[in-house]
């Protein structure tokens, strides 16, 4: 079955969400609503939601400000770090400009050193993330979450109660359930939509400041996709690809496009923009809200964790649930944690799951698009 030409129209609002959010950020400032800029999925968003603040992601995905960033940072540094710092330094991103507080986590050496420079022109709070997921690390992360809560209270002159946090946990869990239902539609074969269109929604949802409306909006899109699928609209039968590795977005969406321009379909995203931070809910029955938050967020299977069994566990499940034919790992240049871990992921995918695997190393430029198409076309042809 061919994909109907008018189907992507249902994604337009989410595709334009980042641009629209620039104006919303200005409106929030006019209403004196606190805006907190974050870099990572390890930030417990429920804390900000509990005090009525809005949250926006600051990880930039363009090479526009990298030359400016390289005046302060090494050239052989991850493009995500350089781009993010560059947009903060130059005030070319409204999200940086309007953020009242920037929150970082010590996920990698490059980021945590960059935060020191970022703190010279923005208020920055850094959460000390443990490097493993044991009980001692859980205790440390819980204390960091409490310290984060106290920093928000001090910065904004508010009191964040446990009751407020519980309400935010319930709301955020509703959002996670709606996202899981949406991307879970891709388990169907053939896929109901292209991965490029699904990814627009996943990325666009992060720029919705009113989290209370997000679950309903996501559910409505999922219902429309499913109803059109049942009416006979679907992507033609293609090799099914799972994308894992570094965050995808902006310039690196070229990887998704290259997969689908060369005959595949990206049915699953095991990374920060996909299932990694959404699949597990916060335990609403845990009497200790800080312990509940600490357990959920510390369990995220990011490559910064050593060892990192939760990533393998998620990949194991997703490869089966989405009937994956091959795995594409995208690694940003100089991202050492994902670069080093790629060997163990390749071994797991090839030997444990008996599936083909390829690593793609890229950055935020367009210089390698031809090479990407050549390599991914050969990979998909092999499938």
pLDDT tens, residue by residue, 188-236: 999 999 999 999 999 888 888 888 999 999 999 999 999 999 999 889 9
Assess if residue 227 is contained within a domain.
Answer: no
Average pLDDT, stretch 3-13? 46
In a domain, 105, yes or no: yes
Instruction: Check whether 64 has a pLDDT greater than 70.
Output: yes
Asked whether residue 78 is domain-assigned, the answer is yes
Find the domain containing 116 and state its range: 17-162
> Considering the domain boundaries, does residue 3 fall inside one?
no
CATH number of 140's domain:
3.40.50.11890
* Residue 44 in domain: yes
Q: Is residue 110 part of a domain?
A: yes
Number of domains forming the structure of the chain = 1
Please report whether residue 346 resides in a domain: no
Dump pLDDT digits (tens) for 151-200.
999 999 999 999 999 999 999 999 999 999 999 999 999 999 999 999 99
Paired tokens of 219: 């559910």
Can you give the pLDDT at residue 288?
98
**Which of left, alpha, beta for 32 (phi over 0: left; psi -120 to 50: alpha)?**
left
pLDDT tens for 86-113 read 999 998 888 999 999 999 999 999 999 9
Q: Is residue 341 part of a domain?
A: no
Q: What is the pLDDT of residue 14?
A: 55
């Amino acid at each position: 079955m061919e994909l109907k030409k008018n189907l992507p129209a249902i994604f337009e609002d989410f595709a334009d969400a980042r641009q629209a959010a620039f104006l919303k950020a200005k409106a929030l400032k006019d209403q004196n609503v606190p805006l907190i800029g974050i870099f990572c999925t390890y930030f417990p968003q429920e804390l900000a939601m509990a005090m009525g603040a809005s949250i926006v992601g600051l990880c930039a995905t363009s090479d526009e400000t990298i030359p400016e960033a390289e005046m302060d940072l090494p050239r052989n540094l991850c493009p995500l770090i350089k781009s993010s710092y560059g947009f903060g330094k130059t005030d070319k991103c409204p999200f940086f400009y309007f953020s009242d507080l920037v929150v970082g986590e010590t996920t990698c050496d490059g980021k945590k050193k960059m935060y020191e420079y970022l703190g010279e022109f923005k208020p920055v709070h850094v959460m000390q993330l443990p490097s493993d997921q044991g009980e001692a690390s859980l205790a440390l992360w819980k204390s960091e979450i409490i310290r984060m809560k106290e920093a928000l209270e001090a910065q904004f002159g508010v009191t964040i109660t446990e009751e407020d946090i519980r309400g935010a946990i319930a709301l955020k869990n509703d959002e996670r359930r709606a996202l899981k239902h949406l991307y879970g539609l891709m388990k169907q074969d053939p896929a109901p939509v292209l991965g490029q269109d699904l990814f627009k929604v996943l990325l666009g949802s992060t720029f919705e400041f009113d989290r209370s409306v997000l679950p309903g909006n996501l559910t409505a899109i999922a219902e429309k996709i499913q109803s059109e699928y049942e009416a006979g609209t679907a992507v033609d039968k293609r090799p099914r690809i799972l994308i894992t590795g570094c965050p995808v977005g902006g310039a690196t969406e070229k990887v998704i496009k290259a997969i689908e321009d060369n005959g595949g379909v990206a049915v699953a995203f095991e990374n920060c923009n996909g299932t990694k931070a959404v699949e597990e809910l916060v335990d609403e029955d845990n009497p200790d809200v800080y312990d509940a938050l600490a357990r959920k967020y510390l369990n995220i299977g990011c490559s910064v964790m050593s060892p990192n069994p939760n990533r393998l566990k998620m990949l194991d499940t997703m490869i089966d649930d989405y009937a994956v034919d091959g795995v594409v790992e995208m690694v940003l240049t100089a991202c050492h944690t994902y670069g080093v871990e790629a060997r163990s992921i390749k071994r797991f995918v090839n030997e444990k799951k008996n599936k083909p695997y390829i690593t793609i190393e890229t950055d935020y430029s367009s210089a390698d698009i031809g090479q990407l198409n050549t390599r991914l076309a050969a990979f998909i042809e092999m499938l």
